[in-house]
């Protein structure tokens, strides 16, 4: 998998220094500055400590199964065009090298609901999806609300958390503008993603 993060710091230099500090007990394979500069921090074949506790599909130890990309951003501002250009270039290279399907390019918030929100609501997932580097829904008929957890799991959202937190994670990824309780739009999104991009061959909900 590939897990995308934001640094939550005001500069790539500060983020890089923190990622290199043993006291931080955190690391990532790549760091991308706001100007598009890509810095490799850890060899892709080595384990980095970027994901922490969480789950995606059947994977519980995400650090051991993923490449982590830290994107320099506070989470409060849009990601600049040079930076997004660099994200696209790097992702294309990584998924080609490791044969990673687009539905296994995820945000930190996807595998750690309630604990992490990065890369956040300002990140342009649709742009990546247009390049075949991630997925984006094409909602059609909504599924019944009682299928929420089953469809979320089929789409990869398997972290052990309550329904409200899980819904927030799904929305951060596919509908960051959405508010309020679970609705038909949420269920239409999940029905589409679960049908077209099932994770780990999960069974269809009954």
Active site residues: 70
DSSP run (H or E) holding 12? helix 12-19
Within 10 angstroms of residue 192's Cβ, the number of other Cβ atoms is 22
State how far the Cα of 121 lies from the Cα of 126, in Å rounded to an integer: 12
Whether the CB-CB separation of 46 and 28 falls below 8 Å is answered with: no
Kindly report the backbone phi and psi dihedral angles of residue 68, in degrees, each rounded to the nearest multiple of 5, phi listed first: -100, 130
Q: How far is CA 159 from CA 54, 85, 126, in A?
A: 6, 31, 24
The burial class, CB within 10 Å (0-12 / 13-18 / 19+), for 98 is middle
State how far the Cα of 109 lies from the Cα of 3, in Å rounded to an integer: 9
Q: In whole angstroms, how large is the CA radius of gyration of the chain?
A: 16
């Amino acid at each position: 998998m590939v897990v995308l993060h934001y640094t939550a710091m005001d500069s790539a230099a500060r983020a890089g220094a923190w990622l290199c500090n043993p006291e931080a007990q955190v690391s990532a394979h790549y760091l991308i500055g706001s100007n598009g500069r890509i810095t490799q921090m850890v060899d892709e074949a080595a384990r980095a400590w970027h994901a922490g506790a969480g789950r995606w599909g059947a994977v519980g130890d995400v650090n051991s199964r993923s490449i982590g990309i830290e994107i320099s951003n506070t989470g409060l501002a849009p990601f600049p065009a040079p930076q997004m250009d660099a994200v696209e270039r790097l992702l294309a290279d990584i998924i080609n090298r490791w044969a990673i399907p687009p539905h296994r390019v995820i945000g930190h918030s996807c595998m750690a609901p309630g604990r992490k929100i990065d890369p956040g609501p300002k990140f342009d997932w649709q742009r990546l999806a247009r390049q075949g580097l991630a997925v984006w829904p094409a909602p059609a008929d909504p599924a019944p609300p009682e299928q929420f957890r089953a469809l979320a799991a089929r789409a990869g959202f398997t972290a052990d958390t309550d329904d409200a937190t899980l819904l927030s994670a799904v929305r951060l990824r596919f509908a960051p503008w959405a508010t309020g309780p679970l609705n038909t739009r949420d269920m239409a999104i999940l029905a589409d993603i679960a049908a077209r991009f099932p994770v780990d061959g999960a069974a269809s909900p009954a």
